[in-house]
Amino acid sequence: MDENSIFAPALKSTKAMKHINLTIIGKVHHVGFRFSAMEAAFRFAIHGFVMNSGHDKVYIEAEGTEANIELYLGWCRKGPLGARVDQLDVEEAPMKNFTGFEIRSRAQGNAQ
C-alpha cells in the first residue's frame, strides 16, 4: 500500500508543537474572558484549558503549532470586549498532548 492510498495511516504533522502556560492579569473576571478564550482556542486550533486563578487572574495551558500559538497569544494580549489585560506572563512547558479545549473550575486543577 503506498502513502497516497486512502487506506494509508495518517501522516504525523511535521510542524513543531508547543506548550505554553499563561497567566493573564487585569480586568478578566465578569467579562466572558474564559468563554472567549475557549472560542479563540477553537478558532486557532489550540488544545488545553482555561480557568480563573485568583483575584483578577486567568490561567491558561495551551498547545498547538508555533504559528497558532502566536495567533492565540495575540488574542490573549487583548482579550474580549470589556476586558483589560494589564500583564501577560508566558512560560514554555513540556507537551501534555491535550485533545480538546475546556473551561475548568479551580478545583479541577493545575493553576498556580
84 is catalytic: no
34 catalytic? Reply is: yes
- Spatial distance between the Cα atoms of 64 and 44, rounded to a whole number of angstroms: 8
Question: Of these residues, 21, 52, 68, 106, which one is catalytic?
Answer: 52
Q: Which of 112, 103, 86 is nearest to 32 (CA)?
A: 103
From 34, 43, 77, 110, the catalytic residue: 34
Residues belonging to the active site: 34, 52
